[in-house]
Amino acid sequence: MIKITTDTAQTEAVGAALAARLLDCGKEKAFVALYGDMGVGKTAFCRGFCQKIGILRVKSPTYTIVNEYTGGVRPVFHLDLYRLSGVQDLESIGFGEYLRRRGIILCEWPERAEDALPPDRIRVYLSRTENEGERTIDIRFPGEGDMIC
């Protein structure tokens, strides 16, 4: 599924649409890996996703590494692995525990720990286009096709 956005509100709306699909499917757990350069809109995508879940205040976890949001219809664990030096650092943030918990993990900079990520993750690729302010958001679901249920 590929979407083109031209502003932050549209990027948030794509995040909200993915959250709606997960809720419609009754997903209790999911791992969403967000790939893209700095400033491309990963946190905006997460903000829209969380708002659909019922979480209104979302901050980038760049310095805290993990933000836990429990005020919505599903717990959301927002991870930012940018500051980690590799898979060995995952233990220090309780990564394995987050994988076992009920809730949705939104993970920015997942390439820092690619080998430790669950194989059934949803991959979201955000990138700039040649047009000023425009982004491409490419959402890839595990397995075949466009299904997550």
Name the helix (H) or strand (E) containing 136: strand 135-140
What pTM, to 2 d.p., does this model score?
Answer: 0.88
In this structure, is residue 68 part of a structural domain?
yes
Domain assignment of residue 100, given as a range: 2-140
Residue 146 domain-assigned? no
> For residue 48, what is the domain's CATH number?
3.40.50.300
**Given a cut of 90, is residue 31 above it in pLDDT?**
yes
| pLDDT over 80 (residue 144) | no
pLDDT at 27: 82
Q: 69 in a domain, yes or no?
A: yes
C-alpha to C-alpha distance for 6 and 9, rounded to whole angstroms: 8
Domain-embedded: residue 104: yes
In a domain, 35, yes or no: yes
34 within a domain of the structure (yes/no): yes
Instruction: Please state the domain count of the chain.
Output: 1
Q: What percent of the chain clears pLDDT 70, i.e. is strictly above it?
A: 92
pLDDT number for residue 132: 85
Looking at the domain assignment, is residue 147 inside a domain?
no
Residue 149 lies in a domain: no
Residue 110 φ/ψ, nearest 5 degrees: -65, -20
Cα separation, 138 vs 103, whole angstroms: 23
